[in-house]
């Protein structure tokens, strides 16, 4: 079947013919001509039959953490259309601020759309309150219904469907600040989850969705569903009553009940829900589309069960992760996702059968905006990685070629910069942490490492060999080379025989937005017999545990010892939930 978005483009000596079943197809033929014309003043004669691999090719906009103007969104639609991205996912509500006018609940925009701090870490480390619109210093904003209509009219011209997201039942701190009666304990602050026990919560969400659905023509409403804590639900009398009445075994099933009800309401208005993959917890609503973000397993299992799925695994599609060496990049939430990495992703992994594959309807790039207060910073993170999302969404896997794509991308970036976009400087990409590219040699490679406290099972790296395998970590603590500890690091390295030792050290990483900290201090002692140890020295932290950003620091000592055993202790800071990450104990 010919896709509505397909086109045939015939460029001859004296004329160009475009054939398409729909205006969208013809529009995409024009975008291809624009791209070709950008590369060269003379367009070559050619014949192109083109159709997309996936119908859903999305880009996500977190306008809750930082409000963006409608003009910003329209500007991004221009860039999206150029690369045939066709879905704009608007994350309109979250704990950081409510961003859409709802006539029946005016406090959402009089109050819950404004906060007293612009900078994320300032607000996060404060009481996380909101403030009245018009208060001096109030930071935020929202789209009026008129704004939304303008955005939608523009989107229509660019053949883009705008999908509104209204978060529930978690990430709803701002809703509760405006309407505290919707939380379990009725308190204005300190709650992020709505109460699924109370009938008022359903009444509120239905009224909000009614207004939202009347405004957006999209076939979908995204209802969030991610990261609800569910903690208060365990003790809330309303939640407990609901669970008893509905025979729900646990809070996961309570969430599932909530999502099922919301789905029925949305379906009764002729629309479908999308939710983050947590909506599968406790049982997935029958017609829901899953946005698989925590990896691909959830998405694959939903697709196998016959649900439509949009793939957006964070390891490939989270554009808020740094795209180059963190020391030269703006502050980010951590992670390392290069253009190459995004491009390498295939939404239909090998081993997925045809039936399940038919339910994988597309891909989306997500940009969470905590650390991106300025519009130009958001653009910098989108481009060029959004192009890799677009091409992965459009082109068949066998037609993808990174070298060719990168070449075209350099041209597209120039085009965007000429139009006033801020983009990443792909020409001067630094790349991966150099130390991690090749194995290193040192005295302890292959040595036995004895753990008096084991590494955490969430970040084992390669296990008990990891700290002496000659492999240094990359920019990302999740790369399988960094070993994670929720305790002190307390290990003894056995060199096998007494050897002269002149250096002992290990590198740690800090990214406090991800709860990863440098150790307070590292104590090093040595022994010839494994019984009596002599202290070589202590390396103290000379780096604040408060600065935002991603940093690496080696805690090392130059020494002149003769020993077989090295006792290495890294002291974790006394901060709840603090991680230590190290990749290798280097001994020379």
238 touches which of ligand ACM, Zn ion, none (CB within 5 to 8 A by kind)?
Zn ion
Tell which positions 341-370 bind ligand ACM, by CB under 6 A.
Answer: none
Write down the catalytic residue from 211, 227, 238, 346. 227
Question: Is 227 part of the annotated catalytic residue set?
Answer: yes
Question: Is 349 part of the annotated catalytic residue set?
Answer: no
Contact 231, 190 (CB under 8 A): no
Interface with ligand ACM includes 114 (CB under 6 A)? no
Q: Per the structure block, which two tokens stand in for 452?
A: 């008096």
The least distance separating Zn ion from the CB of residue 95, rounded to whole angstroms, comes to 18
Burial of 48 (0-12, 13-18, 19+ CB in 10 A): middle
466 touches which of Zn ion, ligand ACM, none (CB within 5 to 8 A by kind)?
none
Residue closer to Zn ion by CB (options 83, 195) is 195
Interface with ligand ACM includes 204 (CB under 6 A)? no
| DSSP structure string for 273-310 | EEEEGGGGTT---TTPEEEE-S-SHHHHHHHHTT--EE
The least distance separating Zn ion from the CB of residue 235, rounded to whole angstroms, comes to 9
Interface with ligand ACM includes 227 (CB under 6 A)? yes
The least distance separating ligand ACM from the CB of residue 293, rounded to whole angstroms, comes to 5
Residue with tokens 């939304």: 148
Residue closer to Zn ion by CB (options 177, 319) is 177
276 touches which of Zn ion, ligand ACM, none (CB within 5 to 8 A by kind)?
ligand ACM
Applying CB under 6 A, what is the total number of residues that bind ligand ACM?
Answer: 4
| DSSP structure string for 4-70 | TT-EEEEE-SS-EEEEESSHHHHHHHHHHHHHHHHH-SSPPPEEEEE--S-SEEEEEEETTTS---H
Q: Per the structure block, which two tokens stand in for 404?
A: 């060719």
Interface with ligand ACM includes 226 (CB under 6 A)? yes
Within 10 A of 235 (CB to CB), how many other CB atoms are there?
10
Pinpoint the alpha helices (H) of 198-245.
Answer: 199-215, 237-245
Q: Which residues bind Zn ion (CB under 5 A)?
A: 184, 195, 197, 236, 238-239
195 touches which of ligand ACM, Zn ion, none (CB within 5 to 8 A by kind)?
Zn ion
For residues 266 to 285, the per-residue mask of contacts with ligand ACM, x marking binding by CB under 6 A and - elsewhere, is ----------x---------
206 touches which of ligand ACM, Zn ion, none (CB within 5 to 8 A by kind)?
none
DSSP category for residue 532: S
Alpha carbons 22 and 137: distance in angstroms, whole number? 48
184 touches which of Zn ion, ligand ACM, none (CB within 5 to 8 A by kind)?
Zn ion
Classify the C-alpha dihedral 274-99-330-326 as positive or negative.
negative
Question: Residues 197, 200, 201, CA angle at the centre, nearest 5°?
Answer: 65
Within 10 A of 227 (CB to CB), how many other CB atoms are there?
14
Write down the catalytic residue from 50, 94, 277, 469. 94
Contact 540, 521 (CB under 8 A): yes
The least distance separating ligand ACM from the CB of residue 256, rounded to whole angstroms, comes to 18
Residue closest to 375 by CA, chosen among 80, 138, 142, 72: 72
293 touches which of Zn ion, ligand ACM, none (CB within 5 to 8 A by kind)?
ligand ACM
The least distance separating Zn ion from the CB of residue 231, rounded to whole angstroms, comes to 11
Residue closer to ligand ACM by CB (options 109, 366) is 366
Contact 240, 254 (CB under 8 A): no
Write down the catalytic residue from 89, 171, 222, 359. 171
The least distance separating Zn ion from the CB of residue 184, rounded to whole angstroms, comes to 3
227 touches which of Zn ion, ligand ACM, none (CB within 5 to 8 A by kind)?
ligand ACM
Residue closer to Zn ion by CB (options 184, 522) is 184
For residues 284 to 303, the per-residue mask of contacts with ligand ACM, x marking binding by CB under 6 A and - elsewhere, is ---------x----------
Which residue, judged by CB position, is nearest to ligand ACM in the bound state? 226
Provide the β-strand partners of residue 274. Answer: 222, 289
Instruction: Find the largest Cα–Cα distance for the chain.
Output: 89
The least distance separating Zn ion from the CB of residue 531, rounded to whole angstroms, comes to 58
The least distance separating Zn ion from the CB of residue 72, rounded to whole angstroms, comes to 37
Q: Which residues contact 376 (CB under 8 A, 6 or more apart)?
A: 422
Buried b (16+ CB within 10 A) or exposed e, 469-494: bebbbbbbbbbebbbbbebbbbbbbb
Question: Is 78 part of the annotated catalytic residue set?
Answer: no
Residue closer to ligand ACM by CB (options 381, 585) is 381
Within 10 A of 327 (CB to CB), how many other CB atoms are there?
13
Residues within the interface to ligand ACM (CB under 6 A):
226-227, 276, 293
- Catalytic residue positions, numbered: 94, 171, 227
């Amino acid at each position: 079947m010919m896709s509505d978005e397909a086109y045939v483009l015939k460029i001859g000596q004296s004329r160009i013919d475009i054939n398409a079943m729909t205006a969208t197809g013809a529009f995409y033929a024009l975008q291809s001509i624009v791209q070709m014309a950008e590369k060269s003043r003379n367009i070559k004669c050619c014949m192109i039959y083109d159709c997309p691999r996936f119908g859903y090719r999305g880009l996500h906009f977190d306008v809750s953490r930082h409000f963006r103007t409608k003009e910003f969104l329209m500007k991004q639609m221009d860039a999206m259309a150029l690369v045939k991205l066709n879905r704009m996912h608007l994350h309109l509500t979250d704990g950081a601020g409510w961003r859409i006018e709802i006539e029946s609940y005016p406090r959402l925009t009089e109050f819950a759309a404004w906060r007293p701090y612009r900078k994320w870490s300032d607000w996060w480390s404060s009481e996380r309150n909101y403030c009245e619109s018009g208060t001096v210093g109030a930071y935020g904003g929202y789209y009026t219904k008129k704004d939304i209509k303008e955005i939608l009219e523009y989107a229509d011209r660019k053949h883009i469907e705008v999908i509104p997201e209204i978060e529930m039942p978690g990430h709803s701190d701002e809703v509760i600040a405006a309407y505290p009666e919707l939380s379990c304990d009725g308190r204005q602050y300190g709650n992020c989850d709505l109460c699924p026990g109370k009938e008022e919560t359903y009444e509120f969400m239905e009224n909000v969705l009614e207004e939202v659905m009347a405004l957006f023509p999209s076939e979908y409403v995204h209802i969030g569903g991610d990261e609800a804590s569910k903690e208060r639900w365990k003790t809330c009398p309303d939640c407990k009553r609901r669970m008893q009445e509905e025979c729900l075994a646990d809070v996961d099933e309570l969430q599932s009940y909530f999502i099922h009800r919301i789905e029925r309401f949305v379906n009764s208005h002729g629309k479908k829900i999308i939710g983050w993959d947590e909506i599968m917890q406790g049982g997935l609503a029958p017609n829901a589309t899953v946005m698989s973000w925590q990896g691909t397993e959830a998405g694959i299992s939903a697709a196998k069960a016959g649900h439509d799925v949009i793939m957006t695994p964070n390891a490939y599609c989270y554009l808020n992760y740094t795209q180059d060496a963190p020391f030269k990049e703006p502050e980010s939430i951590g992670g390392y996702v290069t253009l190459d990495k995004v491009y390498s992703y295939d939404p239909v992994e090998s081993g997925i059968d045809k039936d399940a594959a038919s339910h994988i309807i597309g891909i989306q790039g997500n940009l969470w905006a905590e650390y991106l207060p300025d519009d130009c910073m958001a653009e910098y993170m989108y481009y060029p990685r959004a192009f890799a999302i677009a091409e992965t969404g459009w082109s068949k896997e066998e037609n993808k070629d990174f070298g060719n794509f990168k070449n075209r991308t350099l041209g597209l970036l120039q085009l965007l910069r000429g139009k006033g976009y801020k983009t990443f400087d792909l020409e001067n990409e630094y790349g991966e942490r150099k130390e991690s590219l090749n194995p290193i040699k040192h005295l302890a490679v292959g040595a036995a490492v004895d753990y008096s406290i084991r590494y955490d099972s969430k970040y084992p790296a390669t296990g008990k060999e990891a700290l002496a395998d000659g492999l240094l970590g990359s920019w990302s603590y999740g790369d399988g080379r960094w070993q994670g500890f929720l305790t002190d690091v307390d290990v003894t390295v056995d060199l096998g025989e007494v050897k002269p030792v002149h250096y002992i050290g290990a590198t740690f990483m800090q990214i406090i937005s991800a709860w990863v900290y440098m150790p307070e201090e590292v104590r090093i002692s040595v022994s010839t017999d494994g019984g009596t140890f002599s202290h070589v020295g202590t390396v103290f932290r000379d780096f604040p545990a408060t600065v935002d950003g991603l940093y690496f620091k080696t805690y090392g000592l130059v020494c002149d010892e003769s020993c077989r055993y090295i006792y290495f202790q890294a002291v974790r800071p006394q901060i709840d939930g603090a991680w230590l990450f190290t990749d290798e104990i280097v001994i020379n």
